[in-house]
Amino acid sequence: MERLSESGHMESGKGARMSKAISLRQSYKDNITLAGSRGGALKKSYLAYALANITQGIAYALFFPLLGCFFGGTFLVNQALGWFLALLLLSVISLVLQFYATGFQSGIAILRNRFSS
């Protein structure tokens, strides 16, 4: 039987202590275990955050070609508009995924729910 210790780590058996750093995979499994019946929702949230960060990273990468359109010699409006629309689309997708990952709550509502007793 696993239980959560006072330090916040999962313990196996009575009085077991973790003496080394916990892996990311083990931390993920512990969080899913602690979530109980909401484990599926937590997995979806993790996936949405990962996808949001990937799309945001790609959007940031598209910023450099956009700058190249402005400062790279000849300015082509169609090319700059294409890079800008791609950047905008990926940014909106990232925002929607982050919104979904938080359970459709704003940041203040999440903090209020987390720290209210």
β-pair partners for 3 = 11
pTM of structure? 0.65
- Give residue 1's pLDDT: 46
Q: Each residue of 36-94: pLDDT tens digit? A: 888 888 888 889 999 999 999 999 999 998 888 888 888 888 888 999 999 999 999 99
Q: What are 52's two structure tokens?
A: 């949001």
**Residue 2 pLDDT more than 80?**
no
Q: Is 33 within 8 Å of 10 (Cβ atoms)?
A: yes
Q: Which domain holds residue 10?
A: 2-115
| 114: confidence class by pLDDT, cuts 50, 70, 90 | low
Q: How far apart are CA 51 and CA 48, in angstroms?
A: 5
* Total domains, the chain: 1
pLDDT at 105: 61
Longest dimension (CA), the chain: 71
Report DSSP state, residue 6.
T
